[in-house]
Chains A and B, each alone.
Chain A
Amino acid sequence: MIAITLPKLRLTAYASLACLLFPGAALPEEVFVDMASASGIDFFHFNGMSGEIYFPEHMGAGSALFDYDRDGDLDLYIVQGTMLGPGKQIEDALIPPRHPLPMSDRLYRNDSRIGEDGKMQIRFTDVTAESGELGSGYGMGVAVGDIDNDGYPDLYVMNLGNNQLLRNNGDGSFSDVTKLAGVDDPRWSTSAVFLDYDKDGWQDLYVATYVAFDWENRIPCFSSTATAEYCGPKTYAGTVDKLFRNLGDGRFEEVTGMAGIDGKGGGLGVVATDFNGDQWLDIYVTNDGSANFLWINQQDGSFVDDALLAGAALNMDGAPEASMGVDAADFDDDGDDDLFMTHLARETNTLYINDGTGWFEDRSVSMGLAKDSFPYTGFGVAWFDYDNDGWLDLLVVNGAVSHIEKLVAAKDPYPLHQPNQLYRNLGNGHYQDVSAESGKVFALSEVSRGAAFGDIDNDGDTDVLITNNNGPARLLINQVGTRKHWLGLELVSARGHPVIGARVALLSGGKKHRWRRTRRDGSYASANDPRVIIGLGDDDGEQHLFVLWPDGRRESFTGLAANRYHRIEYGRGRPADD
């Protein structure tokens, strides 16, 4: 058994040490503090709106937290818009862009350092100009994967229009290999996931596509008073998502039809995990305004949508909802991945509990997650343990998709903004909306869309990058997570490359608990830190870990010290039973 402490991550020890040395020091008042501006992130989303109320203008955009230069910390990729609409020029923009033209997505390198005062100084440098080819379309979202198994994370950027596959050259730059790889899709897509669905060792790609919006046949939409309003998904036909199989030679083969992926929906979110316990990755897709998909892996390269009988297609009243962002995690600590998804205002967000066989029950109301979400339209979301008490909490970012009556009355120039929400898992089967007591960032009202989750300052708690439509990016640095103990894990292959799709659990008293998965997927239009942080609460003792690797191999790792990251390498643990 080998658990290596990562040299780059030792700074976490400093943070913890500070807490131990100065227990009387005043603890932060805020759960999260926005450090975007202070850390050098000047990103401001441009949606290209010109007053025409174009449907796509309020739908973008997302971001990715990923270590593109493999230096041990998370860098940022933020998706940008362009001027929108046929014949529209930048002069037509109601709100001019704040970045130089031509617009493109932006890459920020994490240059954070421990300062002379011993404190972490979070610092980002905009390296867009020296990064080669980045996304340049009307951007929506981004997914991260390693298409060539070289250990460097690559990007799949989704646009209103042609998508782009950006290969990480390993030298700090990216190359657009879309055509070569054969993964272009000219339709409107927002979220995608890289997954090795056929267990051949190569990451395949599932792209959730939205609706068949068409500039040629754009349909005007109206509110109840017949004023111009943003369209909803039902205005346009849904589209069939795409599945691309990685051939391992830089090319992908589109296998959508062959794999049985045939349902038309308005896909906005996607997660890939094993929902039914057969150790094959399934795919869950949230559709806006139509039934969600649960593509159960048939273990032969094909999938069957079992969402309806599984109880995860519709809400508890049998109605399709406007599902946006999604996450899958074992929030109730029973060993299977449950689902949480965000919805349109007046629909409530939905929590589906997995019974272990891939069947779900909508328990949003009884868990206390319905009522407080009723007024808001949610997008980005994740289950994560912000306070490291061992229970998975929820952060939901909100922003309406149709004009809000009160904001219109107040003559707000972009009347869609809403506050974001933090729900704490009380550990007793209930959640509580703790936004009001969680600091200033939850008093902000913005049109939030993407949310990417990860440990940006490597201190052992989860931070959040929130991307706002027609607004600034917010870098929410967690101020409270390190008050409790934690275990950081980076699961890597024998070649030292991050492993996605593994499941881990703590072992104690012969039982497994606090199941987590290594993933980048979920949320909305965004990609997360693939590392795992398990909150330990007040337990600062050595931990024992169970790992279920994607190929089915089971291993245990013992003697893992709390409050630091460990590199967990495939094949270096002790064989373990179920």
Chain B
Amino acid sequence: MTKKQAQNFSGKCVLQPVLFLMALLMFSGCAKGEQLQELNHPDLGGVEPGVQKRLMAGRLRVEAARGGKKKRAEDWGNMGMLYHAYEMHGPAQAAYANAIALDQNSFRWLYLLAFSHQRLGDYEAAQKYYLRAMELDPAYLGGWIHLGQVYLDNQQLDAAKTAFSRALNIEPGSAAALTGIARFHIANRNFDRAIDPLKQALEIQPAANQLHYYLGMAYRQTGDRDLARLHMDLRGTSTPWFDDQLLIELNALHRNSRTYLDIGRDAFERGDLLTAAENYRLALEFRPADATTHLALSWVLELLGKTSQARTQVELSLELEPDSAKAHYSKARLLEEAGDDKQAALHYLIAIAGDPQAEPPKLLLANLRMRQQQFAEAVVLFQQIDAVDNTDVLLLFRLALSLHASGDCLAAVAIMERALALQPTSGTLNQGLIRSGSSCPAAGLADKLRWLALARPMFEKLRSVDSAETLAMALAASGDFSEAIRLQQSLLTNTPGGGARRFAHGNLERYRQNEIAVRPWPADNPFYSPPPAPLADKRRMAGLPPAP
């Protein structure tokens, strides 16, 4: 062996084991890199079904993952994002760590892992992962801004300034980065130096009104009290915005029934019923067994006129909560609209028993009872409604008619008087008072003369069949039957057929017998049978504008 050979040999002898060791280390490094953390998936027992489904799908994808490291890293990372979106930081971090172990050059997972640590206040870990991420993609603006924030929170002020400066190098007009620089100065108590970057940031993003607070504090510390107060007054909660696609993606993943319910509710409040219905349906996909959402959807469908679909949703709601007063109320409304008054009444009664304070079911049932000619029951219901005691003239009118029809005409007159006091110019109410009183045998003479005094000018003014009939009733009530007969005969010639004519005939016969009328209007008058609430009324009840 020559010296050279010997040297080569010895070199090889040294080199070969080194290379072998290096290879071994590399291999073990790779093996270590692939060593994945056992992920203790959280118990999803309390989580709503839609969220469960999404998380389970992610979990299954991870467990079934085959293929290259990149693909598996992607699955783990996506799993992490899902957990992260639902604020399950523990499993999110473990999943991200696995993604990183499989793909150490993935900026995405390092960045999100850093963000998760930042959110939990683990600044050291956040810094570590942000720095690793930023080595891979130093041009990602959000990374420097978040890293600067972490440094500020960890009182590493110079490092914070460097990070914000890096962000400014990427985007010189970044309001967020300028704010970071300003905050660095504030943290160093160099308040005067904070003012310029803050003013610049505000010029760039005037909507970022949070900056006014920093400016206010900076001016205060520099002794400019007026400017301080001015900016304090302008302060708000909008922070400087910067483009961070990864966080936008992350936030978009956060979906649950509440998300859609909120969107649906907002849409409902602005009258966009179609959007409301769509989002309530999406909410139900996440939480199918939510009686309240089924009911909300049924209400929207009812307002859209889709009664059969509405009915399905009510039934689903009732399956989940058989005692729900609100659901029974909804079902009653839909049955009433379908013409099944008997069943509707039953469900109104259940609704009232379930929630004795709720007034709408009482009101609708009272109307229904009038239609069924069950006036005594209608009276009891109307009297339980607060609005009757207040200013609802229509309810007072219906209560009066029901009282009269159930035999208490004096009470009816008193209620008509109250209604008229609220709306003195109403022709119907004026006639209602005169007719109720004139068909009330128990009324006193003074009242009878007052009604006659009211009826005459009304007739003189209107010269209508109705006003003539009213005057005839008042004449009869005052004892002037001959005049009542004369007037009644003349109006009969102008009265069309049907119930009204029969009513007029009936009254004429009574006057001829020296008897007064028995009721204010014919039994088939629509006053006695209020129809189910029309769609327009329902929209009004829901606080919606009229349908387009």
Contact = CB atoms under 8 A, between A and B. Distances in A.
B51 interface: yes
Interface stretch (A4-12, A34-42, A218-226): A218-226
A319 B237 CA distance: 7
B228 A226 contact: no
Q: Which 3 pairs between the two chains have the least Cβ-Cβ distance? A: A318-B213, A374-B121, A226-B256
Interface of A: 222-228, 308-309, 311, 314, 316-319, 346, 348, 359, 361, 365-366, 368, 370-371, 374-375, 405-406, 408-409, 411
A204 to B, nearest CB: 30
B155 A366 contact: yes
A406 B257 CA distance: 23
Contacts of A316: 186, 217
B144 interface: no
B254 A375 contact: no
A405 B123 CA distance: 19
Contacts of B154: 371
A318 B210 contact: yes
B119 interface: yes
B121 A375 contact: yes
5 contacts: A225-B48, A226-B50, A309-B225, A316-B217, A317-B210
Interface string B252-288: 0010111000000000000000000000000000110
Interface stretch (B83-91, B100-108, B302-310, B401-409): B83-91
Chain B contact-residue range equals 35 or more
B214 interface: yes
A308 B235 CA distance: 11
B478 to A, nearest CB: 52
B153 interface: yes
Interface string B215-237: 01100110001001100100101
Contact of A359 (B51, B220, B232): B220
Contacts of A222: 256, 258
Given A227-B47, A309-B220, A405 B88 contact: yes
Given A226-B287, A359-B220, A371-B121, A317 B213 contact: yes
Contacts of B153: 365, 370-371
A224 B186 contact: no
B40 interface: yes
Contacts of A408: 42-43, 46
Contact of B214 (A224, A318, A371): A318
Contacts of A228: 46
Contacts of B254: 224
Contact of A225 (B89, B119, B216, B256): B256
A406 B90 contact: yes
B90 A308 contact: no
Contact of A346 (B121, B186, B256, B287): B121
Contacts of A359: 220
Contacts of B87: 223-225, 405
Contacts of A348: 121
A316 B189 CA distance: 12
B421 interface: no
Contacts of A225: 46-48, 51, 86-88, 256
Most A CB within 10 A of own CB, among B85, B220, B229: B220
A378 B187 CA distance: 24
B152 interface: yes
B120 interface: yes
Interface in B114-140: 119-121, 123
Nearest to B221: A361
Nearest to B55: A225
B304 to A, nearest CB: 26
Contacts of B152: 365
A311 B212 CA distance: 13
Nearest to B237: A319
